[in-house]
Amino acid sequence: MTHEALVERVRRQREELPQVYGHLDPDAVPERLALGPDDPSELGFVKGADRASILADADLVDLVVTATRLGDVVADAYALLLPVHGMRGLVTMLRTACREGVDAVQDAPAELRAFIASMEATPEWIDMDLVREGARWERIDAALVTPFVIRGAFLATFLNAYAALPMAITGTLSGRTSARRVKETASFFAATVLPGGVDRFGPGFEAAAMVRLMHSSVRLHALRSEQWDVGTYGLPIPQVDQMPAGMINIALISMKALRQGRTEFDAREQANVELARYRCFLLGLPNELLPDSPAQVLRVLQARAATLRASFDDATCGELVRSTLAATLHPDAHGAGVLAETFERSFSTVTFVKAFLQGDYDRAAAMGVRVSALDRARATTMLPFVIGRTLAARRLSHVPGVEKLVDRYVVATLERRLRGYGHPEYTARV
């Protein structure tokens, strides 16, 4: 798909689904877009970033602006059936279609068929063998690292009021639901890296469909809310806002490659990149937002930050941050479970500040993320355990005759993590 075709896709949204996009001007520039040279943007918090060079790249800026207007027509159309089937009915039909095929759904709505068909249409630029290889490598991190950093990664999605408001409006990330959302996020990534997880009838395919339904239900609810002003916020949950979460692993890999003076990914990294690109495709992201070279990956992510107006609203962002920090994630709420959660919360929070706030503890404190000396001590204590096991698993995965045993251990650990996360619902309160 060319950039021009992506622009046309945005314009067609009004015709394909006027109930959702009919009142949205495809040429409007909402307040959230920081396109002026002096506009405060999220890139301003990144040390050494050259915002001027990004704004001077007209094609790149146009791409990001276009993606800021791009929604998810097929998933939204299915979510519009909520008054007819109820959320439970929509979820049941979608799960059945994912697990058994859409023909297994009695009187399957045309909207469901179109939704599933769009996910089944794997593009030619995806190498599924490489995707499966990427899953084999990434499940090591999903089993041994993700449980200790997922809270911090989730906090990173609340740093901007323009992007965070949809979830705040629906109340899906307040109180007890915060823990559920964090676990669902971890479950989604874990499901895609299980053996067979990315196959058509695998758990990752289903998890992606459920995430899209949840996003669409939140999008529809936000647009109907009196709190949502399209002139200020634009389209709720546009594809450009889903890009950072989908590409977080690619970004880390890209930074490592560039630090080492490499312009291309090595074989193992390319497999991880291919997995992330396919996972993003399942979530509805267009190819234009999914580059496959280290420099371009960071370039498009920086372009999103450079054009997103900086805004941290305590009533929105701060509340979401506080509720996520307070959430109980460990399945055992007593004894050893409490101790484990204490260490996890410290490790995840310190990791969040270092990875997403560039070690700026003052900025973190202003957001309600206070890191004590004890938190840092706990994180330091955990580092050999978390990183040591992961590095050992990676190295042993290269040893003939041992790699299968390592993979069995990793899969068993990941399945145990999934049981601890509980049964994901992927639904929003609308």
For 64-85, the pLDDT digits (tens) are 999 999 999 999 999 999 999 9
Rounded CA separation 193/140 (Å) = 9
Rounded CA separation 327/28 (Å) = 38
Cα angle 207-208-214, degrees, rounded to a multiple of 5:
90
Q: Of 4, 7, 55, 31, which is closest to residue 235 (Cα–Cα)?
A: 31
Rounded CA separation 243/67 (Å) = 10
Write out the two tokens for 202. Answer: 């695998």
What is the 3-state composition of the chain as percent helix, strand, coil, each rounded to the nearest 5?
70, 0, 30
Kindly list the distances between the CA atom of residue 174 and the CA atoms of 163, 183, 429, in Å, as whole numbers in the listed order. 16, 14, 11
Kindly list the distances between the CA atom of residue 235 and the CA atoms of 30, 76, 111, 124, 165, in Å, as whole numbers in the listed order. 9, 13, 21, 29, 11
The mean pLDDT of 213-235, rounded to a whole number, is 94
Rounded CA separation 23/14 (Å) = 8
**pLDDT tens across 177-212, in order?**
778 888 888 899 999 999 999 999 999 999 999 999
For position 173, what pLDDT does the model report? 54
Q: Of 11, 19, 12, 428, which is closest to residue 224 (Cα–Cα)?
A: 19
**By three-state DSSP, how is residue 237 classified?**
coil
Write out the two tokens for 212. Answer: 């899209």
Show Cβ contacts of residue 190 under 8 Å, excluding neighbours closer than 6 positions: 139, 142, 143, 146, 414, 417, 418, 421
Mean pLDDT over each residue of the chain, to the nearest integer:
92
Dihedral angle sign, alpha carbons of residues 124, 129, 133, 136? positive
| Burial (CB count <10 Å: 0-12, 13-18, 19+), residue 260 | exposed
Residue 370 predicted with pLDDT over 80: yes
* Cross-strand pairs, 382: none
Percent of the chain, pLDDT > 70?
Answer: 96
Among 89-98, 217-226, 352-361, name the most confident range: 89-98
Domain regions of the chain by residue span:
40-69+127-194+239-420
| Residue 1 pLDDT class (50, 70, 90 cuts) | very low
**pLDDT tens across 24-58, in order?**
999 999 999 999 999 999 999 888 889 999 999 99
Phi, psi of 41 (to 5 degrees): -130, 165
Q: Range with the lowest mean pLDDT among 117-131, 141-155, 192-206?
A: 141-155
**pLDDT tens across 372-384, in order?**
999 999 999 999 9
For position 421, what pLDDT does the model report? 83
Between 188 and 427, residue with greater pLDDT: 188
Which stretches of 49-197 are DSSP H helices?
51-55, 58-68, 73-79, 82-100, 110-120, 128-144, 146-155, 161-170, 177-193
Q: Range with the lowest mean pLDDT among 93-102, 268-277, 328-337, 355-364?
A: 328-337
Residue 222 near residue 166 (C-beta atoms within 8 A) = yes
* DSSP state letter for 315: I
**pLDDT tens across 323-362, in order?**
888 888 887 766 777 889 899 999 999 999 998 888 999 9
For position 56, what pLDDT does the model report? 97
Write out the two tokens for 316. Answer: 């929105």
Rounded CA separation 194/136 (Å) = 8
User: Which pTM does this prediction carry?
Assistant: 0.92
Show Cβ contacts of residue 247 under 8 Å, excluding neighbours closer than 6 positions: 276, 280, 290, 297, 301
Phi, psi of 310 (to 5 degrees): -70, 130
Write out the two tokens for 152. Answer: 């911090």
Dihedral angle sign, alpha carbons of residues 42, 43, 44, 47? positive
Show Cβ contacts of residue 422 under 8 Å, excluding neighbours closer than 6 positions: 180, 183, 331
Q: Range with the lowest mean pLDDT among 94-98, 114-118, 161-165?
A: 161-165
